[in-house]
Structure 1
Amino acid sequence: MAIPTFVDRVTLHVHGGNGGHGCASVHREKFKPLGGPDGGNGGHGGSVILRVDTSVTTLVDFHRQSLRRADNGVPGKGDHANGANGEDIVLAVPDGTVVHDADTGETLADLTGHDTEVVVAAGGRGGLGNAALASSSRKAPGFALLGEEGDTRTVTLELKVVADVGLVGFPSAGKSSLVAAISRARPKIADYPFTTLVPNLGVVVAGETTYTVADVPGLIEGASQGRGLGHDFLRHIERCAAIVHVLDCATFEPGRDPISDLDVIEAELAAHGGLEDRPRLVALNKIDVPDGGGLAEIARPELEARGLRVFEISTKSGAGLQGLMFAMAEIVAERRATLPPPPPARIVLRPTPVSGADEFTIRRENDLWRVQGAKPERWVRQTDFGNPEAVGYLADRLNRIGIEDKLLQLGAQAGDGVAIGGEDAVVFDFRPQIDIGAEILSRRGEDQRFSEERPAAVRRREKDQAYHSDDTDGVGFDDDWSDDD
């Protein structure tokens, strides 16, 4: 199956990189076996970023490869060695790309303007090593935090061509010829219907105004319901400041004339919706063909009676093109004058953070208390549940933001189940006011070996004291020592 060169709608699966785990390590060297915690932090995972590149005109690269994954962060190591961050993946998309969440349909970003970007899959945070977790009350953490998993998401990319003027009309009405005549674009031109299979863009200069013109292919009756090609390309005129109807005055098809063609196309635009406020111009094309000029003269009075500005043109001879070009430039200039000042050239769009007055919520679900919130859920993901000391540290963090007090206020009893998170929640038994830790003889996160003297040092001190206590004459020998011995 041949892969098309122009693709304006794709589904993309993106995965942010996982954060690297923190390291739990104790510095050791000769004569200093317990030199303190020195575990480094894990690196952050890379993110998947969409960025506008005006040199890109199609989404075909994502049609060929629809799965993109950023690099994972590197785990931390001992001797305070932090892990490297994972590399971001920057994907170039055309100007005018709209990003939707494939599951919810939510619009995540409308990317217009060079270098505008959005993070569609954020990388996971790296876990802290035990050196970063040490404090005055926790001198020797025997644990480190785990790295978080990166975001996983399926998005739909939809391209809407960014053009100032959209040319609409029946197939073979001369839209591509008009683009070629007023700009340097060279689209494929032939005398059979549906020659144009993709929108063509041309840059037009009229006086001091420079604007872009897009040829929207395939509009026929029923296009808004999927007939022909127009249904696929109607979205490309949504950004246009003006619409130009290119009407064929030399068609040989029975039952067609400029007035009926205009009515059909307007009905399809109305069915698509959202284009009622765009100013219209009418270009009666092919007046150089025999009977074409006469048909244009007949249709012109009725079109003007509808309040439309009409231009009789010929893309072959160039007749009437100058007036049409300046009329389009006038509409574009008026539209630009009403727009607010342009934003900075580079806009970075980030996912909306979870916000709220409280850092967590608690609700009763049958025999469980469910706790949800950005912080507690993130802390649970960072915890190594195979390490009792790490679980104790998690309990400290949860108590610090008031989860235990809130549960007691709501009537939770010892032994009740407490689930933290959503579908993948971790369930605990509620044990209020119970310290949980790895060391029994010391406070949570402490190692008494750092505050106690080593037995060898105690024995050496005792020997020194005994030695000096027996040295009564200051010579450094025992009093009962003599040469007779």
Structure 2
Amino acid sequence: MFLDEHKIKVEAGKGGDGCVSFRREKFIAKGGPNGGDGGNGGDVIIRVDKNLNTLNHLAHKKLFKGNNGEPGKGKDMHGRNGEPFIISVPPGTMIFNEDKSQLLADLGADQEEISIAKGGIGGMGNARFVSSTNQVPRLAEIGEPGESKEIVMELKLIAEVGIIGLPSAGKSTLISVISNAKPKIAAYHFTTLAPNLGVVKHRNQTTVVADIPGLIEGASEGRGLGHQFLKHVSRTRLLIHVIDGSLPNPGENYTTIRKELEKFDKKLAKTEEILVINKTDIIPADELKKIEKELKKVSKKKEIFKISAAAHQGLEPLQDIMFAKLAEIEKVDIEIEKPKDLPILTPHLDTERYHIKKIETEGEHQIFHITGKRIEQVAIMTDIKNPQGLERMYHFIAKMGIQKSIERKGATFGDIIMIGEKRIPYRK
């Protein structure tokens, strides 16, 4: 199995709860608060590992969780931060949101990484709530939950050279004799069911070559195996188009593949190409001349190389031209593709700190649903069952202007302020 697309859920670790604690020592009856803060939750990080070629190692797992932060302790001891969870992926992995409408990252270089889900902030301990009016705070924050989301990982192999052609044209044999790849080779169609990567070393030069499973007519529309793997040649800088010289209609066979490339991606169809006739060791000389003439006509007089991968004939000139072409083509580093409409976050310029989302009626009273990143964060991290925690919520409601806003909407005694899942009674 060759897994090149996988949908997973990532959950970052929860922040540790803050601690309520007071100094207790001999001869010190009433020591001050010394509860420490909770540790931050661990992120979920996606990191490139050059030793991987597929997403197969992730196939049987759908949920990846960061570690939770540890709670704070007495004596002002800070909880340990949660360890991040590392998901290793091969070079060329693209990260999309759940419905693939937005590209979040395109990871190419070894050890390149992205924090895909941020861990929650650890809650503050009661030592942080001391003030001139509250010398004995019995309040600590609850740790913030970590981010949770579903993402899609899609792999596009990173190879400088892609070997393409009809099934059984000899692509796998070619990559096996010019590189360190060891693909399965047999005398039937679709022997290669997944792309093979190989490193070619020639005259002190190296490059990575990909053998793409055989393409057939209609591959761009999903026929055969081609549609699944055509995307893997989209990153290549050079194509080696292998024609089976022992088959009839070589010109038509060549045109079939060219049409499929153009239908799939017009940019891919413009990629530099080396045209190769394979299996020349079993073709008579006069027949070979006819094949070459036919291919010259349909390929617009491209230079044609004659080889026999199985007999190891003509490989040196082919590798020479391959590296010469690569040297000519300007090398473009893989850059992270950012969505065109990527929003620029400017929280310091955001004047709307909260929003009255809706007002519902419950019996004789109203429920005011309040949204806003900061006020929701405070609500999540505050225990309103604790009287001091409830007072803290009222402080933020007044300080942020929420109280005045709902009073202008007609708030009265008995109404409810709903922030997230927290129901807070309105008070004047």
- Common fold, TM-score beyond 0.5? yes
CA contact (8 A) 1:359 1:374 kept: no
Q: How does 1:180-219 map to 2 (within 5 A)?
A: 180-207=176-203, 209-219=205-215
What does residue 397 of structure 1 align with? Answer: 396
Please, what TM-score do these two structures have when normalized by structure 2?
0.87
Q: Is the Cα–Cα contact under 8 Å of residues 362 and 369 in structure 1 kept in the other structure?
A: no
Match of 1:29 among 11, 25, 28: 25
| 1:380 counterpart SS class | helix
Map of 1:232-271 to 2, 5 A cutoff? 232-251=228-247, 256-271=248-263
User: Is 1:51–1:117's contact at 8 Å kept on the other side of the alignment?
Assistant: yes
Give, as a single letter, the amino acid of the residue that structure 1 aligns with 2:297: E
CA distance in 2: counterparts of 1:334 and 1:166, whole angstroms: 17
Number of residue pairs matched?
A: 411
The whole-number CA distance in structure 2 between the counterparts of 1:23 and 1:354 is 33
User: Could you give the per-residue CA deviations for residues 15-73 of structure 1, whole angstroms, max 9, x where no partner exists?
Assistant: 22211111112222334222111111111122221111101122111112332222222
Q: Does 1:300 align with 2:295?
A: yes
Unaligned runs of 5+ in 2: 337-342, 361-366
User: 1:160: Cα distance to partner?
Assistant: 0.9
Paired with 1:288 and 1:295, the residues of 2 have a C-alpha distance of 15
* 1:242, distance to aligned residue in structure 2 (A): 1.9
Q: What is the alpha-carbon distance in structure 2 between the residues aligned to residue 366 and residue 379 of structure 1?
A: 21
* CA apart distance, 1:96: 0.9
Task: State how far apart, in whole Å, the 1-side matches of 2:211 and 2:193 are.
Answer: 10
Identity in percent: 37
Q: Which residue of 2 aligns with 1:323?
A: 317
Amino acid at match of 1:275: L
**Shift in alpha-carbon separation, 1:352–1:218, aligned structure 2, 3 A:** farther
Contact 1:303 1:310 in 2 (8 A): no
Q: 1:126 to 1:110 in 2, by over 3 A?
A: same
CA-to-partner distance for each residue in 1:328-352, whole Å, 9 max, x for gaps? 3233223344x36x889xxxxxx98
After superposition, where does 1:319-468 map in structure 2 within 5 Å?
319-337=313-331, 339=332, 355=347, 357-358=350-351, 360-363=353-356, 365-367=358-360, 369-405=368-404, 411=409, 413-415=411-413, 417-421=416-420, 425-432=421-428
Residue type matched to 1:320 in 2? G
TM score, norm. by length of structure 1: 0.77
Q: 2:75 corresponds to which residue?
A: 79
The residue identity in structure 2 corresponding to 1:300 is L
1:236 Cα deviation (Å)? 0.7
Shift of 1:262: 1.7
The two structures, once aligned, show a CA RMSD in angstroms of 2.7
1:451 paired residue number = none
Alignment partner of 1:69 is 2:62:
no
For the structure 1 residues 75 and 165, does the alpha-carbon distance in structure 2 shift closer, same or farther, using more than 3 Å as the test? same
Which secondary structure does the structure 2 equivalent of 1:288 belong to?
Answer: helix
> Deviation per CA, 1:394-415, whole angstroms, max 9, x where unpaired?
232343344445556x655445
Letter in 1 for 2:78: N
SS of residue in 1 equivalent to 2:240: strand
Provide the secondary structure at the position in 1 that maps to 2:96.
strand
The 2-side partners of 1:229 and 1:41 are apart by 55
Letter in 1 for 2:281: D
Deviation at 1:207, TM superposition (A): 4.7
CA displacement at 1:241 relative to structure 2:
1.1
Moved more, 369-378 or 50-59: 369-378
Gap change, CA 1:427 and 1:386, over 3 Å in 2: closer
Distance in 2, Cα, partners of 1:165 & 1:202: 10
Kindly state the Cα deviation for residue 363 of structure 1 after the two structures are TM-superposed: 3.9
Shift of 1:163: 0.4
Residue 157 of structure 2 corresponds to: 161
Task: Check if 1:284 corresponds to 2:280.
Answer: no
Shift of 1:104: 5.6
Contact 1:285-1:315 within 8 A present in 2 as well = yes
Q: 1:19 to 1:364 in 2, by over 3 A?
A: closer
Counterparts of 1:387 and 1:62, CA distance in 2? 44
Shift of 1:417: 4.6
Deviation at 1:203, TM superposition (A): 1.7
**SS of 2:177 mapped into structure 1:** helix
* AA aligned opposite 1:298: K
Distance 1:100 1:110 in 2: 9
Which one-letter code corresponds to 2:396 in the other structure? R
> Which has the higher Rg, Structure 1 or Structure 2?
1
Relative distance call for 1:235 and 1:25 in structure 2 (3 A) is same
CA distance in 1, matches of 2:323, 2:400: 61
Q: Which runs of 5+ in 1 are unaligned?
A: 345-350, 433-485
Range 374-383 or range 318-327, more displaced: 318-327
Query: Structure 1 residues 397, 237: CA separation in 2 closer, same or farther (over 3 Å shift)?
Result: same
Contact 2:96 / 2:104 at 8 angstroms: preserved in 1? yes
The one-letter code of the counterpart of 1:326 is D
Amino acid across the alignment from 2:231: R
Alignment-derived partner of residue 87 in structure 2 = 91
What is the SS of the residue equivalent to 2:382? coil
Q: Is the 8 A contact 2:123 2:143 kept in 1?
A: yes
Distance in 2 (CA, whole Å) between partners of 1:309 and 1:405 is 79
SS at match of 1:371: strand
CA separation in 1, counterparts of 2:159 and 2:249?
28
Counterpart CA distance in 2 for 1:295 and 1:209 is: 35
Matches of 2:18 and 2:100 in 1, distance apart?
34
SS, match of residue 240 in structure 1: coil
Q: Which moved more, 1:260-269 or 1:157-166?
A: 260-269
| 1:309 corresponds to 2:309 | no
Question: Secondary structure of 1:275's partner?
Answer: helix
Structure 1 SS opposite 2:292: helix
Between 396-405 and 182-191, the greater mean CA deviation after superposition: 396-405
**Do the aligned residues in 1 keep the contact of 2:292 with 2:304 (CA within 8 Å)?**
no
